[in-house]
């Protein structure tokens, strides 16, 4: 599967997708399909754990795409049983060193009352402190993953069953987490009290499914039931169905607003809203906030497409595919010579010259992170004979790193951390550059009054610098929170 965006090195990247099924024959096959639908959330590696009453727990963890590993009959035969969970992960290489297969989830732990496997999406903001404490008390870590802390905390809990041990463990964990876990008979789903990362529940035949997004339910023919609510734990068995628990102190939800802008698939539903429709509406808001005289609205494919459609509709300026993506340009392409490597984005995108020549072009993209690719795209459009280039960006300036399960460059590398909008326009050498406002983005996701500054309805820390959970480990490492003057 090609990456979700052709410029993977200049985009924020979701780090994980999780999926689980109980109550169906050969559950692992359903999980493989679900993970395939969630591949945009992590392309580096994937894993599945299943349980069968004869064979006990089985697991397979592999580097690479789901379709290249979990379609092999010989592998899938090693994962029998009516319950299974799985995980896809994005590489965090560079920020945490190269991934080893032992870092690939789900993680498994054997407890006195039986085994349990867990798959985690998000980031534990006090993981360093927890890991230090656990190691001092005798825990032996197998991986470099923060998520393994949950297994060790469960091992130390004195509760008598696995769901209660998980509650105990997750009460110690700070940050963002959606978790899918399993015992021999129970499928468990949990969202952190703020509900930063997504998790949805579906019904499939006589069984149940949990998925990061609804597109994972669609692929297995499951009916979407509802979202797991922030702070909710569901314990699901084939016989008794879904039991809902509330292990955490209730808090106001702070779902990741960037899921609407970029991470989730456009065919997913979030908060009863179509992601595609929200993105189209972002384009509408952007056209209202930042109109410009031009001849053509072009998306930067593929993630800028719905916003470009909305922009064109609202502005009345014709929409056109001014940039065409090479669908077969995967990340494994070997660029044989320095000369070809330097061609950079031209390997991935081509300009539709006949459409662009002589036109004043509005380019709609989902975000600007480092700005390196925006500049290259602008050059390609001008080389093709465009008269003017105007950038319109479907998210506010990304000026702060995310510490909740999204890989972001260090703050200094974010263009918006060091430059104003006008400075970025000059840096990119374009005729105009405008980002949607934070209020405009909130309106597009359905908050008619915009952002409530006293109690923001979403997590928007990467735009606002207001972190709903203090990133304790990062502060310890020297990260500076926003000051009152900023
Ligand atoms: S900081 Fe940004 S990317 Fe991270 S959870 Fe919050 S809104 Fe999402």
Chain segment 394-411, per-residue pLDDT in tens: 999 999 999 998 888 888
Output the pLDDT for position 72: 94
Greatest CA separation found in the chain? 72
The predicted model scores a pTM of 0.93
Can you point out the beta strands (E) in 37-192?
A: 45-52, 56-63, 83-89, 107-111, 114-124, 175-182, 187-191
* Average pLDDT for 67-86: 97
Average pLDDT taken over every residue of the chain? 91
Residue-level length of the chain: 486
Chain segment 353-368, per-residue pLDDT in tens: 999 999 999 999 999 9
* Average pLDDT for 22-39: 97
Has 402 been annotated as catalytic? no
Q: Are the C-beta atoms of residues 414 and 369 closer than 8 Å to each other?
A: yes
DSSP helix, strand, coil percent of the chain (3-state; round to 5): 30, 25, 45
Output the pLDDT for position 373: 85
Best residue among 445, 462, 471 to mutate for probing ligand 1, ranked by most atoms within 8 Å of CB: 462
Q: What is the DSSP letter of 103?
A: G
> Highest mean pLDDT range out of 90-104, 137-151, 279-293, 319-333?
279-293
Residue in the block written with tokens 């102190």: 249
469 lines ligand 1 (CB under 6 A): no
Best residue among 258, 394, 397, 438 to mutate for probing ligand 1, ranked by most atoms within 8 Å of CB: 258
Res. 93 pLDDT band, cuts 50 70 90 = very low
Q: If you measure from the C-alpha of residue 27 to the centroid of ligand 1, how many angstroms do you get, rounded to a whole number?
A: 32
Chain segment 236-278, per-residue pLDDT in tens: 999 999 999 999 999 999 999 999 999 999 999 999 999 999 9
Q: Look up residue 279 and give its two tokens.
A: 């993105």
């Amino acid at each position: 599967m090609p990456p979700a965006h052709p410029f993977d090195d200049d985009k924020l990247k979701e780090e994980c997708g999780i999926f689980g099924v109980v109550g169906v024959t050969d559950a692992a096959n359903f999980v493989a399909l679900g993970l395939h639908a969630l591949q945009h959330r992590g392309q580096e590696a994937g894993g599945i754990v299943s349980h069968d009453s004869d064979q006990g727990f089985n697991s397979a963890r592999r580097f690479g795409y789901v379709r290249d590993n979990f379609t092999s009959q010989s592998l899938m035969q090693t994962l029998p049983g009516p319950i299974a969970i799985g995980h896809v992960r994005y590489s965090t290489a560079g920020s945490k060193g190269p991934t080893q297969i032992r870092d690939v989830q789900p993680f498994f732990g054997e407890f006195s009352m039986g085994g349990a496997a867990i798959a985690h999406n998000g980031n534990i903001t006090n993981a360093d402190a927890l890991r230090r404490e656990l190691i001092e008390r005798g825990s032996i870590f197998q991986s470099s993953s923060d998520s393994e802390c949950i297994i060790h905390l469960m091992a130390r809990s004195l509760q008598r069953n696995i769901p209660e041990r998980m509650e105990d463990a997750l009460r110690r964990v700070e940050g963002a987490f959606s978790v899918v876990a399993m015992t021999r008979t129970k499928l468990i789903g949990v969202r952190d009290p703020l509900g930063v990362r997504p998790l949805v529940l579906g019904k499939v035949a006589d069984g149940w499914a949990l998925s990061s997004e609804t597109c994972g339910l669609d692929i297995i023919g499951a009916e979407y039931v509802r979202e797991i609510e922030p702070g909710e734990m569901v314990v699901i068995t084939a016989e008794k169905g879904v039991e809902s628990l509330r292990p955490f102190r209730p808090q106001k939800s702070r779902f990741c607003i960037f899921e609407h802008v970029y991470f989730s698939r456009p065919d997913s539903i979030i908060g009863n809203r179509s992601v595609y429709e929200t993105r189209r509406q972002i384009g509408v808001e952007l056209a209202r906030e930042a109109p410009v005289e031009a001849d053509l609205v072009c998306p930067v494919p593929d993630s800028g497409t719905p916003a470009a459609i909305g922009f064109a509709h609202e502005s009345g300026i014709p929409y056109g595919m001014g940039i065409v993506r090479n669908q077969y340009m995967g990340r494994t392409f070997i660029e044989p010579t320095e000369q070809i490597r330097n061609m950079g984005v031209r390997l991935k995108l081509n300009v539709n010259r006949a459409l662009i020549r002589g036109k004043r072009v509005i380019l709609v993209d989902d975000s600007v992170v480092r700005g390196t690719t925006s500049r290259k795209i602008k050059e390609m459009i001008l080389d093709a004979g465009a008269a003017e280039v105007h950038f319109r960006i479907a998210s506010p300036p990304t000026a702060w790193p995310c510490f909740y399960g999204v890989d972001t460059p260090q703050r200094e590398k974010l263009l918006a951390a060091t430059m104003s909008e006008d400075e970025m326009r000059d840096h990119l050498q374009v005729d105009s550059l405008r980002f949607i406002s934070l209020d405009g983005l909130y309106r597009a996701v359905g908050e008619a009054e915009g952002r409530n500054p006293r109690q923001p309805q979403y997590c928007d820390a990467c735009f606002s610098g207001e972190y709903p959970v203090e990133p304790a480990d990062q502060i310890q490492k020297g990260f500076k929170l926003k000051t009152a003057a900023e």
